[in-house]
């Protein structure tokens, strides 16, 4: 290396060292300022949000409320527990916790119990074998809930708007139809922010939904009502929707599982006044549940005829899977 090249190299090293130090100092300053602001904000809001004032969620009285939907469905098919017992248990649980968390805003408990009786009668009739029931009605007798923004015949469909506070759906959304065809039993609809367009769950029709793990904390949005009632063991399955985190954020805040499928896979007719004829949309319906094992079977039902586009039953070799951290 010539003397001139050596001088240029040393000059560049000094230049890089200077900018590296400057970036390090600015980053350190940002962290310090950020921590100070966090401390100040936490201190201010501690006067309004007092953890000592949080409501106490009642202890679960029926152990089966803690089971996965897949496990309960199998037990119902095996006649180890009846659909009526399961539905009655979840209805009782909703009545216990809902005054504290304000998650379920409209219910159909009486109809749900009638459908549970019909489910037990179908199993008892022997018209379908256990294998046929599992194939054709994988969630027979299993309760589920869905968002107020999802059309459910006869239930309020306000979208969180005062102007629609008395509006009821006249038909089921296509995804609700698919769930019912799979044997699932709708218990009611849950709270949302206005038009699903906010990162927490409150509106001027039903008020604010609270987190069952700490009722002074948010549940996120827009599927906050679903996340809250599922986390409180009031529903094993939640039919939700997502554009920019409406399933994923509430699932994270409430410690449950949620998945946003690829757009175009799930039928969207009946979701937030959609006709199902929209050619391009980022919104998609997706599952929410307490157990990861319920995600795939739930998604299979929701996808309907598009199931052939996915390989949900294909084994994945984790040793050949690449993971990226951002």
Residues with catalytic annotation? 147, 222, 246
CA pair distance 265, 46, nearest whole angstrom: 44
What values do phi and psi take at 214, rounded to 5? -160, 105
Contacts of 77 (CB under 8 A, 6+ apart): 123, 130, 133, 134, 140
CA pair distance 302, 306, nearest whole angstrom: 9
CB 253 within 8 A of CB 222: no
Give the three-class secondary structure for 321: coil
CA atoms within 13 Å, Cβ hemisphere of 275:
4
Beta strands in 125-174 (DSSP E): 143-147
Alpha helices in the chain (DSSP H): 3-45, 69-77, 83-101, 109-125, 130-136, 174-181, 224-231, 248-254, 295-303
Q: What are the tokens at 66?
A: 């803690």
What is the rounded radius of gyration, in angstroms, for the C-alpha atoms of the chain? 25
Say what the alpha-carbon torsion angle 89, 92, 94, 98 is, to the nearest 10 degrees. -160
Question: Cα dist. 256→48, 74, 139 in Å?
Answer: 27, 21, 19
Of 122, 73, 61, whose CA–CA distance to 237 is shortest?
Answer: 73
Of 221, 263, 272, whose CA–CA distance to 246 is shortest?
Answer: 221
CB 283 within 8 A of CB 243: yes
Which residue matches tokens 């949900």? Answer: 312
CA pair distance 262, 257, nearest whole angstrom: 17
């Amino acid at each position: 290396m010539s003397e001139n090249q050596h001088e240029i190299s040393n000059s560049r090293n000094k230049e890089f060292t200077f900018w590296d130090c400057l970036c390090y100092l600015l980053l350190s300053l940002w962290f310090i300022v950020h921590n100070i602001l966090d401390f100040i904000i936490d201190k201010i809001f501690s006067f309004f949000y007092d953890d000592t004032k949080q409501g106490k969620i009642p202890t679960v009285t029926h152990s089966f409320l803690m089971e996965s939907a897949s496990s309960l469905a199998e037990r119902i098919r095996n006649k180890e527990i009846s659909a009526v017992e399961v539905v009655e248990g979840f209805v009782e649980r909703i009545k216990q916790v809902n005054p504290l968390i304000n998650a379920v805003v409209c219910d159909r408990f009486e109809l749900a119990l009638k459908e549970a009786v019909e489910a037990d009668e179908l199993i008892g009739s022997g018209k379908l074998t256990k294998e046929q029931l599992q194939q054709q009605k994988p969630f027979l007798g299993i309760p589920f809930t869905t968002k107020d923004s999802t059309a459910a015949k006869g239930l309020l469909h306000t979208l969180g708007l005062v102007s629609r506070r008395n509006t009821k759906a006249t038909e089921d959304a296509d995804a609700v139809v698919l769930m019912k065809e799979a044997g699932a039993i709708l218990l009611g609809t849950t709270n949302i922010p206005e038009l699903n367009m906010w990162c927490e769950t409150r509106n001027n029709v039903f008020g604010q939904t609270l987190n069952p793990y700490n009722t002074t904390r948010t549940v996120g949005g827009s599927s906050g009502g679903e996340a809250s009632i599922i986390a409180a063991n009031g529903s094993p399955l939640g039919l939700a929707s997502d554009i920019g985190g409406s399933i994923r954020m509430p699932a994270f805040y409430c410690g449950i599982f949620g998945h946003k499928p690829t757009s175009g896979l799930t039928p969207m007719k009946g979701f937030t006044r959609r006709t199902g004829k929209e050619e391009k949309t980022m919104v998609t319906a997706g599952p929410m549940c307490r157990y990861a094992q319920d995600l795939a079977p739930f998604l299979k039902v929701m996808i309907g005829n598009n199931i052939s586009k996915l390989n949900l039953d294909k084994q994945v070799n984790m040793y050949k899977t690449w993971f990226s951290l951002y």
